[in-house]
Amino acid sequence: MVTIKEIAERAKVSRTTVSRVINNSGYVSEDAKKRVLKVIEDTGYVPNQYAKSLRTKSTKVIGVILPKISTETSSRLVKGLDEILAKEGYQILLTITNLDPNKEIEYLKLLKSRNVDGIILSATNINEVLIEEIHQGEVPFVTVGQHIAGLANVLFDDYRASRDMVSLFVEKGHKKIAFIGVDEQDHSVGYLRKQGYLKGLEEYGLTAEDKWIQKGKFDVESGYESMKSIMEDAKQKPSAVLAVTDRLAIGAIRYLNDIGLSVPNDIAVAGMGGSELSKYISPSLTTIDFSIEDAGREAAKLLLKQIDGSSCKDVIRLIDHRLLNHFSI
Interface with a second copy (CB under 8 A): 44, 46-51, 53-54, 59, 61, 69-72, 74-76, 78-79, 82, 86, 91-96, 109-110, 112-115, 136, 220, 250, 257, 276-277, 280-282
- The number of C-alpha atoms within 13 Å of 65 and in the hemisphere containing its C-beta is 31
Q: How far apart are the first and last CA of the chain?
A: 63
Distance of CA 182 to the CA centre of its chain: 19
Measured from the CB of residue 15, what is the shortest distance to DNA in angstroms? 4
Question: Which of left, alpha, beta for 15 (phi over 0: left; psi -120 to 50: alpha)?
Answer: alpha
Q: Which is nearer to DNA, 31 or 276 (CB)?
A: 31
Residue 22 found at the interface with DNA (CB under 7 A): yes
Would you give the DSSP letter of residue 175? Answer: -
Q: Which one among 9, 14, 125, 147 touches DNA, defined by CB under 7 A?
A: 14
Q: Which is nearer to DNA, 41 or 210 (CB)?
A: 41
Q: Which does 265 bind (CB under 5 to 8 A by kind): DNA, a second copy, none?
A: none
Measured from the CB of residue 31, what is the shortest distance to DNA in angstroms? 6
Contacts 24+ apart (CB under 8 A), 78-82: 78/296, 79/293, 79/296, 80/292, 80/293, 80/294, 80/295, 80/296, 80/297, 80/298, 80/299, 80/300, 81/120, 81/296, 81/297, 81/299, 81/300, 82/296
Residue 3 found at the interface with DNA (CB under 7 A): yes
Residue 24 found at the interface with DNA (CB under 7 A): no
Q: Which does 76 bind (CB under 5 to 8 A by kind): a second copy, DNA, none?
A: a second copy
Residue 28 found at the interface with DNA (CB under 7 A): yes
Residue 15 found at the interface with DNA (CB under 7 A): yes
Residue 47 found at the interface with DNA (CB under 7 A): yes
Q: Are 297 and 80 in contact (CB under 8 A)?
A: yes
Q: Which is nearer to a second copy, 196 or 273 (CB)?
A: 273
Residue 13 found at the interface with DNA (CB under 7 A): yes
Binding to DNA in span 182-201, by CB under 7 A? none
Binding-residue total with DNA (CB under 7 A): 30
Give the chain's length. 329
Measured from the CB of residue 14, what is the shortest distance to DNA in angstroms? 3
Q: How far is CA 217 from CA 94, 181, 182, 186, 249, in A?
A: 27, 8, 6, 11, 12
Amino acid at 323: L
Q: Which is nearer to DNA, 43 or 207 (CB)?
A: 43
Give CA–CA dist 316/76, Å, rounded: 20
Q: Which does 31 bind (CB under 5 to 8 A by kind): DNA, a second copy, none?
A: DNA
Amino acid at 316: I
- The number of C-alpha atoms within 13 Å of 258 and in the hemisphere containing its C-beta is 11
Q: Which one among 19, 74, 124, 153 touches DNA, defined by CB under 7 A?
A: 19
Residue 32 found at the interface with DNA (CB under 7 A): yes
279, 278, 281, 283: which is closest to 267 by C-alpha?
A: 283
Residues in contact with DNA by CB under 7 A are 1, 3-5, 12-20, 22-23, 25-32, 47-48, 51-52, 54-56
